[in-house]
Amino acid sequence: MNDADALIATQIRSVLAAAETGGGVAPIVEAGDPILRSVTRPFDGQVDDAELAQLAEVMRATMLAAPGVGLAGPQVGIGLSMFVAEDPGSLDPETAEVRQRTPMPLRVVLNADYTPATSEDVAFFEGCLSIPGYQAVVARPREIELRGQDLKGTPIAEVVSGWSARIVAHETDHLEGIMFLDKAEMRSLSTNTSVARFWSQPSTQKAAAELGFTLPSGMLM
């Protein structure tokens, strides 16, 4: 094992140890930590299957406790190409329809990358567990083509659409050292309190009009 892979193994074991003393939950790394701006390394056996599965459980528990719908390796201090994601969907029918937010069962993806599966972009507010307290509007493809492997090493190659595509793209970006504010409409930057007060509508039309930013061409939401 080379030095880089040995470091990842050490990082994984440190997170597992922290979770053991933290009720199964690991600390979340916040913006400003260099690991969030580093390109991750692929998983190629740095730890055994049992430790990898344990890491997936800790990352899911940490994500749910935050609470959030996705969490990438760098967000717990591990430079590994891995993320977990799970979304219960929206309870509001109009929001679910406008944002195409349907439930997404738990998924754990290793060595992920994605490409747009459509030229159509949609823009909505999103946030990040590593930038607590803030949201901004980000334009992302309505559909993406996800590639990677699951915990058993089985290849993943599928089209993901709607809000699930947004979550997957957001988490996969983390693996390349990209954070959501890098792609955001900065005029839309708002605190969580302001989003709840002013911009809780299913669409982003009102926010775009009043905050002064442009939605993707052809976006009808």
Question: Which residues sit opposite 141 in a β-bridge?
Answer: 121
**High-pLDDT (> 70) share of the chain, %:** 98
Name the CA radius of gyration of the chain, rounded: 17
Q: How far apart are CA 91 and CA 131, in angstroms?
A: 25
If you average pLDDT over every residue of the chain, what do you get? Answer: 96
Residues 6+ apart with CB under 8 A from 158: 145, 146
Write the pLDDT tens digit of every residue in 138-187: 999 999 999 999 999 999 999 999 999 999 999 999 999 999 999 999 99
Write down the pTM of the prediction.
0.96
Kindly list the structural domains of the chain, giving each domain's residue range(s) and its CATH number in brackets, ordered by start: 3-219 (3.90.45.10)
Q: Would the annotation count 170 as a binding residue?
A: yes
Summarised one tens digit per residue, pLDDT across range 181-199 is 999 999 999 999 999 999 9
Q: Please check if 180 is assigned to a binding site.
A: no
Q: 211: Cβ–Cβ under 8 A, 6 or more apart, which residues? A: 187, 188
Strand order in the sheet with 104-116: 70-72, 82-87, 104-116, 143-149, 155-161
* Whether residue 145 lies in the annotated active site: no
Q: Indicate which residue of 86, 126, 143, 171 is catalytic.
A: 171
Is residue 11 marked as binding?
no
